[in-house]
Amino acid sequence: MPSEGKPQPIDTVAIAAPSDVPTTGLWLLTDRRERHTAGLTGQTTSGASAADALAALALGVVIRRTLNDQEQRLVLEGRRHGATWEQLAKSLNVADPEQVRSAFVTWAQQLPESEATEALHLAGNGNDQ
């Protein structure tokens, strides 16, 4: 277990689906996923099981969602501070700034109304590079 002292929920919970994953820091999620994949790839001597594969897959989904949300929140901050869609696309290694804006709009539409209003305003119409 990576946590020092008292075990954290991420250390002890059985994970078979994304809904089983407790809210915790990204590094704890990746550590738990690595422990499950290590057995599957022969990096440890412990016996791997289907449960390890399921847990690693579920944790991967949660990690991806977390990173996507963090990325979009950084795009929001970039827009708040004057970054253009072209600059944001370059930072994300995306050739088309409209792809970045479109992903941001899709994300923003899922926010609570108070946050969505500002985010969609910052998204503009895409012509403000």
pLDDT digits (tens, 9 = 90+) for 8-55: 889 899 999 999 999 999 999 999 999 999 878 776 666 778 899 999
Can you give the chain as a three-state secondary structure string? CCCCCCCCHHHHCCCCCHHHCCCCCHHHHHHHHHHHHHHHCCCCCCCCCHHHHHHHHHHHHHHHHHHHHHHHHHHHHHHHCCCCHHHHHHHCCCCCHHHHHHHHHHHHCCCCHHHHHHHHHHHCCCCCC
Q: Global pTM?
A: 0.78
Same domain, 13 and 49: yes
75 in a structural domain: no
Predicted confidence at residue 127, as pLDDT, reads: 62
Same domain, 104 and 52: no
Same domain, 93 and 120: yes
| pLDDT at residue 128 is higher than 70 | no
Predicted confidence at residue 34, as pLDDT, reads: 93
Predicted confidence at residue 54, as pLDDT, reads: 95
76 in a structural domain: no
* Cα four-point dihedral sign 101, 103, 104, 105: positive
Buried b (16+ CB within 10 A) or exposed e, 69-97: eebbeebbebbeeebebeebbeeeeeeeb
Same domain, 57 and 87: no
pLDDT digits (tens, 9 = 90+) for 62-94: 999 999 999 999 999 999 999 999 999 999 999
* Structural domain harbouring 8: 1-70
Using 50, 70 and 90 to split pLDDT, how confident is the model at 5? confident
